[in-house]
Amino acid sequence: MKILIVTDAWYPQVNGVVRTLDETSKQLKNLGHEIKFITPEGFLSVPCPTYPEIKLSLFPGAKVSSLIREFNPDCLHISTEGPLGLSARSYACRNNLAFTSAYHTRFPEYVHARTKIPLNITYAFLRWFHGRSELVMVPTAEVEKDLIKWKIGNPQIWTRGVDLEIFKPQKGRRKNKKPILLNVGRVA
C-alpha cells in the first residue's frame, strides 16, 4: 500500500510527534508498505513565533498538491494542522480524497497559554479541520474524551508501543532488591 504522511513537525525537531511518525513509518515499511512524507524540507519556511523549532511553510499549496498527485497514495494521513496539513486537507477535500488525521497534543491549551486565544476558538478550528477526516487518531483515552466533548471528528485511540529491544528486563542486573517506581508519561 502507498501511504503518504503530511506533517509540519519533522526533523530536526525532537518531540513526540516526530518520534511517533518516524517509528510508525519504520514499522509500516517492515510490513511492506511504501511510505512517503511531505515535510517542511524543501519548502520556503519561517520559524513559528512562539515555538521557533517548528518551521511554518509559506504558500505550500501548489507544491503539496503536485506531490500528492505525483505519489498517488492509497492512503493519505494528515498528521498536523499547520500549513502543510491545511494544504493537504484542501487538496483532499477538492478532489474527494479520503484521509485520516491525527491530534497529537493539547494544541488549544498550548495556544491559549502562549497567546491567550480562547479555547473555544481553537477548538472550532480543530472541529473544522478534522471534520472531513475519516478518523482522527489520538494518543490516549483522555484525549479521545476531550475531542468527543468538543465534538471534533471521529477520534480513535492510536496507542504508542514500547520498543522491547531498548526496554527489556534483564535478570540478575539489580543488586538492590528495593522496589522501583516508574512513571511512563509525557513531558510537554
pLDDT at 187 over 70: no
With respect to residue 183, please indicate whether it lies within any of the assigned structural domains.
Answer: no
Q: Residue 92: inside a domain, yes or no? A: yes
Higher pLDDT, residue 185 or 16: 16
Domain assignment present for residue 181? The answer is: no
- Quickly list DSSP for 11-53: TT--SHHHHHHHHHHHHHHHTT-EEEEE-STTS-EEEETTEEE
For residue 93, the enclosing domain spans 2-157
Instruction: Write out the three cell numbers for 6.
Output: 503530511
pLDDT in tens, 64-122: 999 999 999 999 999 999 999 999 999 999 999 999 999 998 889 988 998 899 999 99
Task: Count up the domains in the chain and report the number.
Answer: 1
- 141-148 LR contacts (CB < 8 Å, sep 24+): 143/103, 143/106, 146/106, 147/103
Residue 172 inside a domain? The answer is no
Q: Show the cell assigned to 89.
A: 486537507
Q: Is residue 54 part of a domain?
A: yes
Asked if residue 173 belongs to a domain, the reply is: no
Q: Which residues contact 119 (CB under 8 A, 6 or more apart)?
A: 108, 109, 112
Q: Is residue 182 part of a domain?
A: no
Looking at residue 126, what is its pLDDT? Answer: 96
In a domain, 107, yes or no: yes
Q: Is the pLDDT of residue 161 over 90?
A: no
Average pLDDT over residues 171-175: 72
Question: Using an 8 Å Cβ cutoff, are 102 and 142 in contact?
Answer: no
Determine if the pTM surpasses 0.85: yes
146 CB-near residues (< 8 Å, 6+ apart): 106
CATH number where 83 lies: 3.40.50.2000
